Structure 1
Amino acid sequence: MTRTVHCAKLDREAEGLEFAPWPGELGQRIYASISKEAWQQWLAHQTMLINENRLNPLDPKTRSFLSEEMEKFLFAGDAAPPPGYTPPED
């Protein structure tokens, strides 16, 4: 049986995550109020941030940056692409 949450990002009821995808309090907050769909949107945004900024995910500074961006993207709605980013043409 799937779990339903009121997704803070999408502002509607949607299928919830199966487990906390991030450690600590932020991970629990994501588990409680972010849907699978919104999490997939974050993963795409995170990939773009890593690629465009040439980040190393193993670097503690990068993980801190991504954590802050994750919170902005999922809860504050004010995450922006890197300066100079142009989306790929279809």
Structure 2
Amino acid sequence: MAAANPISKSSTAWLGPASGAVAITPDATATFMPTRGIMCSGAGTIAAKFSDTAADVSLTLTAGVVYPFSIVAVRIAGTSATGLVAFY
């Protein structure tokens, strides 16, 4: 199970800028702390699990765009985007 994000979604701090970023490595089962946003350097698709849903969703990302998605996993199967970064 993913760790809880230390900033509550109901907090006004959630609306502010991200204070950190880490690379995302797609994995078959691993989860991570809910993100405040994601970005890729190489356009493509990702199979992502949103923090409030059970099923994975396929998303098409454009390189260099920061998407305000709160996700907890990126699956290796169904992911072609490269250079994935999570913002917290």
| Same topology, TM > 0.5 | no
Higher strand share: 2
Q: Which has the higher contact order (CA 8 A, sep 6+)?
A: 2
Q: TM-score, normalised by structure 1?
A: 0.23
Q: Pick the structure with greater CA Rg.
A: 1
